[in-house]
Amino acid sequence: MNAPFLPILSIVDPLLADNQILAPIPQLNTETELSPIKRSKIWELKEANRCPIVGTCLSKDELIRFARRFHFEASITDVFLLHVEAVNCVATRNPASEAIQKYLDSKYQTALTRFESAKTDAAVFDLWKKCFVQGEIAGALWAALTHKRISDDTRGKIYADMHMHSHHMGANQAADTRRLAQLEKEYAELETAMELQKQHHSRIEAKLRLRFQEALAESEHLRHNQKEIVALKARLSAIESGKTMTEMGQRLMKLSMENERLKSVAHQADNLDQLLQDAHNQIAALIDECKVLTTERDALERFLLSDSSCKDSCNHPNAHDTSQLKDCCVVCVGGRIAQLPQYRMLAEQMGIRLTHHDGGQQHALSRLPEMINSADAVICPTDCVSHAAYYQLKRLCKRHGKPCLLFKGKGVASFASALIRLSLGQVSLNADTRELLAEGISK
């Protein structure tokens, strides 16, 4: 039986006096077979049987889960009142008792299968006794008390076993508690002694390790000195034999040859220095040429800007629509910061109020919703903007129905071409709703 419910049987005993559970039980005829056609449900049992089932077969946590599920009136912290309310609850057939019946059948399916082999009341009791002696109580209790061949007398015997078992368990638990307290005290004392011994051993080990490291260092120093002594002895022998002078002459000859080779290398290095200087001069010339080409490129972009405007005015059937962007607010997301003055100059020439967001480099992305919502249209150079700003402006333009033109190109000419395309209703988002552009421009 679970520890929290050990005193339950003794508390409920007075309530069961009228059932005469502890009265002398007549001897069963073990040869007589009973003939119920099905297992008993928990609400079909007597209270004397329901009480030990709830107290033994359901753990404290399981009882609390059922109490919460079916909204018991008793406090979750009062296990005894939860037990009493559960016993009363399973006295009749209701959703709670049916759920407990189903749960216990599932939990103790192994015990139920084992007890199916018992075909008589006596066989059920014998199997119960075997499980009881082996300590397999909870599952055997559920399987025996609900068995289709068990009699009320046998249920009374099982109750008596459980009743005495609860008393014995209570006494044993008290003794075990006292023994556990003594063992915990002894364990704490031993742990303290072991910790002190461990600290003592640690100090000794630290001292030994220090001495060992000092011995290793001394040994290494002696080994190094021994090697130096051997080398000095060898050099002294070589000098005394005249071999050293011969070797010095050979080394001098080699150094002389190496000196001549280095002079040749130095001459080659001088030549390389001259070549490097020439290369630097060529690079400087290329840089100057690059600056000239950059100036020419900027002039060409301005030319292309004016030329593109002329061609669009001549060839496009709605060329007069370029004036539709006049006095409108267009927000540019991304682009080169250094060319922002040129962007603004071009926009002013076309009569456009241009606002700019750098795409998250210095400007916070949180400003985008407000800027896009207050603008009439949006343009974005896709090769000069962050991914986060790109996807956010697409979402915002779709949400607010803002005309948006996405284009490739970082130069001023690309920017000017984008403004002209936008004025002609050529947008990347809401491409089929050119009326939105007209409505946005006419605000």
Segment holding 406, helix H or strand E: strand 404-407
Per the CB < 8 A criterion, the answer to whether 359 and 333 are in contact is yes
> Which residues does 363 contact at the CB level (< 8 Å), separation at least 6?
357
Cα 162 to Cα 28, 31, 319, 358: the distances in Å are 19, 25, 101, 81
The pLDDT of residue 325: 73
When pLDDT is cut at 50, 70 and 90, the band that residue 326 belongs to is confident
Sheet with 329-333, strands from edge to edge, namely 353-357, 329-333, 377-381, 404-407
pLDDT band for position 298 (cuts 50, 70, 90): low
Predicted pLDDT of residue 277: 92
Phi and psi at residue 94, to the nearest 5°: -155, 175
Give the mean model confidence (pLDDT) for residues 69-82: 90
Lowest mean pLDDT of 28-32, 89-93, 124-128, 289-293, name the range: 28-32
What gap in Å lies between CA 142 and CA 54, rounded to an integer? Answer: 10
Strands, DSSP E only, in 265-342? 329-333
Is a pLDDT exceeding 50 seen at residue 120?
A: yes
Measure the CA–CA gap between 343 and 414, rounded to whole angstroms. Answer: 10
What pLDDT score does 275 carry? Answer: 92
Confidence class for position 14, pLDDT limits 50, 70, 90? very low
Amino acid 378: pLDDT: 94
Q: How far apart are CA 408 and CA 300, in angstroms?
A: 18
Residue 1 has, within 13 A of its CA and on its CB side, a CA count of 26
What are 41's two structure tokens? 């449900």
Closest CA to 55 of 173, 138, 152: 138
Alpha-carbon distances, residue 441 vs 377, 394, 425 (angstroms): 8, 19, 11
pLDDT at 201 exceeding the cut of 60: yes
47: exposed, middle or buried (Cβ count in 10 Å: 0-12, 13-18, 19+): middle
pLDDT for res 4: 39
DSSP state of 429: B
433, pLDDT greater than 70: no
Q: What is the pLDDT of residue 384?
A: 87
Instruction: Find the range with the poorest average confidence among 1-15, 61-75, 291-305.
Output: 1-15
Neighbours of 338 (CB within 10 A): 7
Q: Is a pLDDT exceeding 60 seen at residue 432? A: no
| Dist CA 381 CA 386 (whole Å) | 10
Per-residue exposure over 360-373, b if at least 16 CB sit within 10 Å of its own CB, e if not: beeeeeeebeebbe
Q: Which residues pair with 13 in a beta bridge?
A: none
By the 8 A CB rule, do 91 and 49 touch? Answer: no
Question: For 71, left (φ over 0), alpha (ψ -120 to 50), or beta?
Answer: left
Determine the pLDDT at residue 2: 41
Model confidence at 209: pLDDT above 90 = yes
pLDDT on residue 174: 60
How far apart are alpha carbons 249 and 15 in whole angstroms? 122
pLDDT digits (tens, 9 = 90+) for 132-191: 888 888 888 898 888 888 888 888 888 888 888 877 675 556 666 677 877 888 888 888
Amino acid 76: pLDDT: 86
330 pairs with which residues across the strands? 354, 377
Read off the pLDDT band of 379 (50, 70, 90). Answer: very high
Q: Residue type for 76, please? A: I
SS3 of 78, please? Answer: coil
pLDDT of residue 27: 46
Q: If DSSP codes are grouped into helix, strand and coil, which group holds residue 183?
A: helix
Evaluate if residue 323 carries a pLDDT over 70. no
DSSP 46: -
Give the rounded percent of residues in the chain with a pLDDT score beyond 90. 24
